[in-house]
Each structure stands twice: as structure tokens, then as C-alpha cells.
């Protein structure tokens, strides 16, 4: 479940270079450096290093560790600050213990993944002995080791010593792989390091005790003299990143608190005021800095997490029907430019094409997956391969390779990426059947077995058998993908990857991305959680998921939290309301309002979402007995009258949703969603929030989504908003703007909402800061 604690975080301020160097010094630095970086009292301490014991040899031991711990010689009455201790191996703890950092790579093998500029939550268990106050800081460094972000953490569960913060790796970008800026952006990608620094908050500990002692007149002189020494030491600390005026403020406070001519309360006030508290928040005195061992965060390119997909079939795009004969003239790659333009106008940024390869003739499927194809039936594009070629050939009925390259070039002009479906399967007519018969599974009678997914049968498809020559198949697929990448493809949508060995995909994706790091992979896999996680580990950036069947409030609540959680450091669920293979009962039964409801949930419930064309025309006729469309486009050419789309308003809604998503940083992350309580079982409400430090605008970004799941009846509910959790004022109304309608509302803690499907199926509310 995604968590939010940013409202409790202290504001951050950039440290100077000296502070950065001190704060992030290696735990294995010399004891002399450790002592100098941690303490600078008015009388500089003498630091001695104990001689290394010969008995210990080169082998790490407790004795050898102790020999490198700093020893500080103090003046009489002077209190020793806690030192930074060396920690040379992962099992060693620092002076402050830092444990259980999340997110963390699986088995220390598979790193967590985020998109460049995507916000994500980090937590850790941080503690010290006794009742001393502590603090924690999270630090992100890019692949070249440069510190890119330093943020204070907040204690969100004192009983469990749990600290949390929201971070982001780099800045959000819309740069595409073909843009001139791509080489510079590419250098930001790769393995970043995350370190959590625990440290003793000496000032907070002192102030807590000093207030009590002054109030009850208990050992006041010692308490205040100790505070004077502490403030002087603080002023001299390079790690604090203080300006000259801030150092002067601390020194003047130290002088006043050391003035015995003043009474106790006057002296304490010199160190207990807003100016000192501001310095404590922004430039704290950090003793015993204890950095964790680095955790890896793999930062991926734009569109790896935040994507809006649009799918169409080139053979249907621009298809016409002769009004006299009824004969259909299919579309081509050239006429498919209209699909690109429609996708761009609606604000999508990836166009996904099904296979564009030659289609086999043997066992070709007819309309609605019938076993007998008529003379005009084009067959399924997933029955790949004929005498005209296989996976390396453009179907001549669609055009040529040059036509495909021109389509990609036009897509790039429209700022669209082309995703190509790569189905690793063959028709009986595919050249591989003769060239590599050992690549297919045979029955005992010597015939090749066609594909099955009982009760479904795919008589027009031969599945690949990976047992005989997996290395050879890998090399072939790598060369094929290189071919299409050179033509302009930047994303592959892989059909049924869970029916092939995971190791196969691991090898192929590694080889392809080694040469083409910009290439992304989408898994069309509806399967078990373990397999989905494994596919994510080996390089599938996004995946289809079970969103189409999550239609009631209780399972939508669960699925939104599952999708937007730590699970998304690996698996990025992409929400598609429909696909050529999926048309649910909900879409069938709920008309225009149902299409609008599911579009809002998909676009706002996941950073990655997709639409299969025809959604704008309310194509919701179900094939009897199946959750798929009647007259499935997989088996025939569709002739659509796009001039009718305006009467439904869905196309305009899709454009609005994509506009809203682009405008709000809160919509870009898989780690910032929380549910909002409301009692009506037909009203679902959730919030996305990014703190001001991470938006890039200097202002927080908060988006609240409220949806009526009932496409036929109005519903009312009171939606509770825990204002303080999101940094919102708790003493006055908050002004919200509905991004869909432009209307404005004032919200507080508990808010009445009424939604009627004939008016508004949803509110998408942004906070006006």
C-alpha cells in the first residue's frame, strides 16, 4: 500500500559542498576524518588512532573495528559528542542503527525501478540506545556518484522507530529517443544509489532536558553551559551547511546562553526560539552520522511508468466499404496516418499496432474465430507467416517496409512512439516451419501441435518449442527486434510472454537493451502473481492486468492499492478498459456512462493506461458466451464512421483525461495514491499527492478523484479528507477545481458529494494552492 508522510517532513535546503562532502563521507573513512567531520567543539579535541593488533591480521574482527574508532580527549567538564563509527561490511551497524530500508532489491539481485522524475516513498527503521533524539536523512546519487537529492525523513511510527520520506530520482521529462536531447537524458538513466543516514539530534535532546531543568530549577547552570558549548560546536560544523549569517546567529546565541548575568529563562530563550528552530530544521547539527550501505534504484526512461497507449489495426484504419457491392477495401500503413492523428489529438503518446507481418493461409480463421475462412476473410494477424515471409516482413496488403518507416517518422513528428506487437508464434505456412522444424513441438505421429489454451484452440498457430534450441531462437529474435528498432519501433508489446521461458525473455531483453537502452517492453500476460513478478524482474517495464474485471468498490479499492504500492517497484500495471480480446459485462451493460466511468478509473487509477480504438464509438456488443467483442477485429476488417464519435463525447473525455494527467505531477507515480473513506458502496474516492519540494513548480500537487460506479443511478456520499496528512490547512476551507468541468468547490474534513451518470460520473479535483 502506498503511504504518504510528506506533510510531516521538514523543508529541505541545499547544503553547501563542504556539508555534502561531510554528510556523505564513506563509512570506511579514517577515524581522524570521522572525528573532524563530526565534532568541532570550542577546544578542538585530540584524536588518536589505536595501533592495529598484529593478532587480528587482515581478517575483519571486532578488535580491528575497535582499533579504528575515534578517541577524543576532552577538557574538564566537556561532553563528548557521539562519533561516526566505521562500518566496513553490510552486517556492521553505525553509531545509529539503520535497518529494513524499503524499497529494497529482491534478494539483493533485482533492483527497484522508477521512471526518471517519478516520486516514490522510502522508509527505514532508525534508532539509538536510550532516550536520545535522532534524525534521518535520505540521499540519492546518480550513476556517476553525484548527489542529486537530500531530503530529511520524518518519524511516522515512534513505537516502531519507522521513518519515511518521499523522493524522486531526477526531473520528469518528455524527451523522446529520437530527440536531440536524448543523449543527455540517457546519461541520467541507470543504477542510482539510495543511502539513509541516521544521526543523533543532540540539540533536540539537549533542549528537551534544558526546558525541564530551567522550569524546575534543577542543575540549571550545567544544563545551560552545556547548551552554550553545543551551539558553538554547531556553528563550526561544516556538515550543517550554514551561511556566515547563520553561523553568527548561533555564536551570538551561544554567548547569550553563557551569560550568567541573565536568569535561566532568559538564557534558555537565546537557544529556544523560531530562528534557532529554523536552523534546526534546515541545517541541523548531526552527530554520529551513520550512513546505511547503498541500495540500488534503477532509473528508467520517460514512458517506462507514465504512459498513455492507443491501439488500432492498420488494416481497419482508413478502410472503406463499397455502398453498392458491400466489398471492403482494407486500410494500409499509409491510410493509418489518420489513426496517428486521432491518437495525438486525444493526447496519447504511444500508438500500439498488432502484428503487421504476412498472415498464413493454412487453417486461417474466419469471422468471430470460426474454423472456416471465407475468400474475403483476412485472417488473424497473430497467425504469423506465409510464403511471403515471416516476422521480418511487412504484409504486402499493408504496404512495404518503407511505408512502415514513413509511418514511424510521421508518428515521431506527432510526438508519438510506435509500439509493435511481437507474437512469438507461427502459422503452418511460416518459413521457420521448413527452415527450423526442430523449433516446434511435434505429436507422436510426427505432426506439429497447434497452440491451445483450453478451452481455446488456435488451429492457425504453431507454438515455439524452446527446449531444442533456445540459444538459436534467442539470436533470431534479437536480430528481428534490431530490424524493427532500426525502422522506428521503440516499444515491443509481447503477446503471451508467460507461455515462454522466463529465462528466454531475460536473455533477449538484456541483449536488445544493451544495444538499444531506449527500448521498452510491455507484457500481455494474464497469469499468476509469481510469473508476473518474474517477467518484471527480467525487463518487462509494463504489463496488462486484471483491471477490466475489477468493477465493484471493494475489489477496486484493493486493486488500486495493489497497483499503487511497493509492488510497483517491479510490476507496472497498465489499465485498459477493453482490448480486442476483452469486453466485460460491465462495458456491455452500461453504455456511454459505463465507458466514461471506466476511462476515468483507468486514466487516474494508474500512471499507465490504454485505449483500444472503437471505445469512442461505444463498441460494446459482446460475442455470445464470451467476454470479447462480437465481430472481433482480430478476424476481420472494421469500417468505422469516425464522424459519429462526437455524439458520445468519449473522445473528448479521453483528451481531457490525458490533459489532466500531463498537467499534474501527482498523476505520474505508482507510489502516491491513498483511498479516501466514504460509505456509499457505489462511490469510490482516492487522492494523489506530491509535496512542493518534488513537483518542480514550488507548489504541492494534490488531485482528488471521486467516481460513481453506478452507470444508471445517482449516488451521494460524504468523503472524508484528512487535511493535515496532505499539508492542507486545517482551520479553513480548501478551494478545489474540477478539472473536467471547471467548477469550484470548498472542501474541509467531511465533504458531501452527489454524482449522477446523466450529469457527472466523476469529479477530478485539484487543490488550488
> Which of the 8 DSSP states describes residue 341?
H
Phi and psi torsions of 704, nearest 5°:
-115, 130
Question: With contact defined as beta carbons under 8 Å apart, do 545 and 529 qualify?
Answer: no
Residue tagged active-site, from 395, 478, 495, 507: 495
Residue 632 marked ligand-binding: no
Residue 365 marked ligand-binding: yes
> d(Cα 632, Cα 623) in Å, to the nearest integer?
8
Find all residues with CB under 8 Å of 240, minimum gap 6, and list them.
19, 234, 279, 283, 284, 285, 286
> Which of the 8 DSSP states describes residue 288?
E
> d(Cα 114, Cα 385) in Å, to the nearest integer?
37
Residue tagged active-site, from 34, 429, 524, 628: 524
Share in percent of the chain as helix, strand, coil (round to 5)? 30, 25, 45
Strands 147-152 and 154-157: unpaired
Question: Assign residue 351 a region: left if phi > 0, alpha if psi is -120 to 50, beta otherwise?
Answer: beta
> d(Cα 452, Cα 236) in Å, to the nearest integer?
74
Residue 460 marked ligand-binding: yes
Residue 425 marked ligand-binding: yes
With helix as H, strand as E and coil as C, how does 567-607 read?
HHHCCCECECCCECCECCHHHHHCHHHHHHHHHHHHHHHCC
> d(Cα 635, Cα 654) in Å, to the nearest integer?
27
> d(Cα 612, Cα 343) in Å, to the nearest integer?
11
* 495 annotated active-site: yes
Phi and psi torsions of 710, nearest 5°:
-90, 110
Instruction: Name the burial class of residue 158, with classes exposed (0-12), middle (13-18) and buried (19+) by CB atoms within 10 angstroms of its CB.
Output: exposed
* 524 annotated active-site: yes
> d(Cα 452, Cα 311) in Å, to the nearest integer?
25
Tallying the residues shown for the chain, one arrives at 769
Instruction: Name the burial class of residue 254, with classes exposed (0-12), middle (13-18) and buried (19+) by CB atoms within 10 angstroms of its CB.
Output: buried
496 C-beta neighbours (distance < 10 Å), count: 18
> d(Cα 186, Cα 343) in Å, to the nearest integer?
26
Residue 222 marked ligand-binding: no
> d(Cα 512, Cα 38) in Å, to the nearest integer?
48
Q: 244-257 and 220-235 are packed helices; what angle lies between their axes, rounded to 10 degrees?
A: 160
Question: With contact defined as beta carbons under 8 Å apart, do 694 and 717 qualify?
Answer: no
Question: How far is residue 246 from each of residues 203, 277, 284, measured CA to CA in Å?
Answer: 16, 12, 12
Strands 491-495 and 520-524: parallel
Which residue, 244, 126, 124, 247, is CA-closest to 194? 124
Which residue, 417, 416, 437, 415, is CA-closest to 426? 437
Q: Which three cell numbers stand for residue 34?
A: 570521522
> d(Cα 318, Cα 399) in Å, to the nearest integer?
14
Which residue, 494, 474, 611, 506, is CA-closest to 542? 494
Dihedral angle sign, alpha carbons of residues 56, 60, 66, 69: positive
Strands 744-747 and 734-738: antiparallel
> In the beta sheet, which residues pair with residue 464?
440
> d(Cα 587, Cα 597) in Å, to the nearest integer?
10
Active site residues: 495, 524
Q: From the annotation, which residues make up the binding site? A: 365, 425, 460, 496, 634-635
Q: From the annotation, which residues make up the binding site for alpha-maltose 1-phosphate? A: 365, 425, 460, 496, 634-635
Amino acid at each position: 500500500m502506498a503511504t504518504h508522510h510528506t506533510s510531516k517532513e521538514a523543508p529541505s535546503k541545499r547544503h553547501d559542498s563542504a556539508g555534502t562532502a561531510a554528510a556523505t563521507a564513506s563509512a570506511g573513512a579514517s577515524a581522524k576524518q570521522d572525528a573532524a567531520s563530526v565534532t568541532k567543539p570550542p577546544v578542538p579535541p585530540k584524536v588518536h588512532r589505536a595501533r592495529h593488533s598484529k593478532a587480528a591480521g587482515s581478517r575483519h574482527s571486532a578488535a580491528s573495528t575497535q582499533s579504528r574508532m575515534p578517541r577524543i580527549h576532552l577538557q574538564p567538564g566537556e561532553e563528548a559528542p557521539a562519533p561516526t563509527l566505521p562500518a566496513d561490511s553490510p552486517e556492521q551497524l553505525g553509531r545509529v542503527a539503520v535497518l529494513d530500508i524499503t524499497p529494497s532489491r529482491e534478494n539483493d539481485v533485482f533492483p527497484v525501478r522508477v521512471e526518471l522524475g517519478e516520486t516514490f516513498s522510502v522508509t527505514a527503521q532508525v534508532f539509538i540506545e536510550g532516550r536520545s533524539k535522532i534524525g534521518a536523512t535520505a540521499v540519492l546519487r546518480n550513476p556517476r556518484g553525484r548527489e542529486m537529492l537530500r531530503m530529511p525523513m520524518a518519524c511516522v511510527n515512534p513505537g516502531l522507530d519507522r521513518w519515511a520520506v518521499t523522493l524522486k530520482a531526477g526531473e520528469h521529462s518528455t524527451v523522446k529517443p529520437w530527440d536531440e536531447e536524448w543523449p543527455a537524458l540517457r546519461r541520467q538513466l541507470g543504477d542510482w544509489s539510495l543511502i539513509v543516514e541516521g544521526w543523533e539530534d543532540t540539540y533536540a535532546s539537549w533542549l528537551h532536558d534544558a526546558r525541564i531543568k530551567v522550569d524546575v530549577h534543577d542543575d540549571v547552570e550545567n544544563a545551560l553551559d552545556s547548551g552554550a558549548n553545543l551551539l558553538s560546536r554547531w556553528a563550526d560544523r561544516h556538515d550543517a551547511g550554514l551561511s556566515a549569517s547563520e553561523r553568527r546567529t548561533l555564536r551570538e546565541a551561544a554567548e547569550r546562553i553563557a551569560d550568567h548575568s541573565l536568569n535561566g529563562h532568559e538564557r534558555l530563550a537565546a537557544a529556544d526560539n523560531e530562528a534557532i528552530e529554523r536552523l534546526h530544521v534546515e541545517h541541523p547539527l548531526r552527530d554520529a552520522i551513520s550512513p546505511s550501505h547503498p541500495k540500488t534504484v534503477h532509473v528508467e526512461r520517460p514512458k517506462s511508468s507514465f504512459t498513455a497507449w492507443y491501439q488500432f489495426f492498420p488494416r481497419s484504419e482508413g478502410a472503406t466499404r463499397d455502398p453498392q457491392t458491400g466489398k471492403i477495401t482494407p486500410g494500409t500503413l499509409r491510410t493509418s496516418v489518420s489513426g496517428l492523428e486521432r491518437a495525438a489529438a486525444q493526447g496519447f503518446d504511444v500508438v500500439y499496432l498488432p502484428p503487421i507481418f504476412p498472415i498464413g493461409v493454412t487453417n486461417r480463421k474466419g469471422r468471430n474465430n470460426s474454423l472456416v475462412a471465407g475468400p474475403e476473410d483476412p485472417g488473424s494477424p497473430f497467425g504469423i507467416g506465409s510464403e511471403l515471409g515471416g516476422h521480418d516482413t511487412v504484409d504486402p496488403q499493408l504496404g512495404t517496409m518503407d511505408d512502415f518507416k514513413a509511418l514511424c517518422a510521421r508518428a515521431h513528428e506527432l510526438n508519438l512512439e510506435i509500439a509493435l506487437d511481437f507474437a512469438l508464434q507461427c502459422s503452418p505456412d511460416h518459413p521457420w516451419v521448413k527452415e527450423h522444424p526442430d523449433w516446434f513441438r511435434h505429436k507422436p505421429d510426427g505432426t506439429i501441435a497447434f497452440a491451445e489454451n483450453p478451452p481455446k484452440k488456435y488451429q492457425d498457430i504453431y507454438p515455439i518449442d524452446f527446449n531444442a534450441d533456445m540459444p538459436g531462437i534467442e539470436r533470431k529474435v534479437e536480430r528481428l527486434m534490431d530490424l524493427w528498432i532500426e525502422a522506428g519501433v521503440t516499444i515491443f508489446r509481447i503477446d503471451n510472454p508467460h507461455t515462454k521461458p522466463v529465462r528466454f525473455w531475460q536473455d533477449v531483453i538484456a541483449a536488445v537493451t544493451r544495444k538499444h537502452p531506449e527500448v521498452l517492453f510491455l507484457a500481455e500476460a494474464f497469469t499468476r502473481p509469481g510469473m508476473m513478478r518474474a517477467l518484471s524482474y527480467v525487463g518487462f517495464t509494463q504489463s496488462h492486468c486484471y483491471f477490466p474485471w475489477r468493477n465493484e468498490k471493494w475489489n477496486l479499492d484493493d486493486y488500486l492499492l495493489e497497483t499503487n504500492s511497493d509492488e510497483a517497484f517491479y510490476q507496472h500495471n497498465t489499465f485498459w478498459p477493453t482490448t480486442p480480446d476483452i469486453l466485460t459485462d460491465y462495458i456491455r451493460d452500461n453504455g456511454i456512462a459505463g465507458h466514461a466511468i471506466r476511462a476515468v478509473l483507468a486514466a487516474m487509477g494508474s500512471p499507465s493506461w490504454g485505449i483500444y480504438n472503437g471505445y469512442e464509438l461505444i463498441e460494446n456488443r459482446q460475442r455470445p458466451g464470451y467476454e470479447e467483442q462480437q465481430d472481433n477485429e482480430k478476424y476481420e476488417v472494421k469500417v468505422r464512421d469516425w464522424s459519429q464519435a462526437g455524439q458520445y463525447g468519449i473522445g473528448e473525455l479521453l483528451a481531457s483525461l490525458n490533459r489532466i494527467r500531463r498537467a499534474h505531477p501527482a498523476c505520474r507515480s505508482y507510489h502516491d495514491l491513498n483511498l479516501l473513506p466514504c460509505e456509499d458502496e457505489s462511490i469510490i474516492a482516492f487522492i494523489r499527492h506530491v509535496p512542493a519540494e518534488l513537483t518542480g513548480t514550488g507548489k504541492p500537487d494534490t488531485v482528488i478523484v471521486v467516481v460513481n460506479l453506478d452507470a444508471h443511478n445517482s449516488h451521494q456520499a460524504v468523503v472524508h479528507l484528512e487535511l493535515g496528512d496532505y499539508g492542507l490547512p486545517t482551520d479553513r476551507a480548501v478551494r478545489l477545481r474540477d478539472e473536467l468541468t471547471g467548477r469550484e468547490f470548498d472542501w474541509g474534513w467531511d465533504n458531501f458529494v452527489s454524482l449522477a451518470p446523466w450529469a457527472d460520473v466523476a469529479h477530478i479535483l485539484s487543490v488550488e494552492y
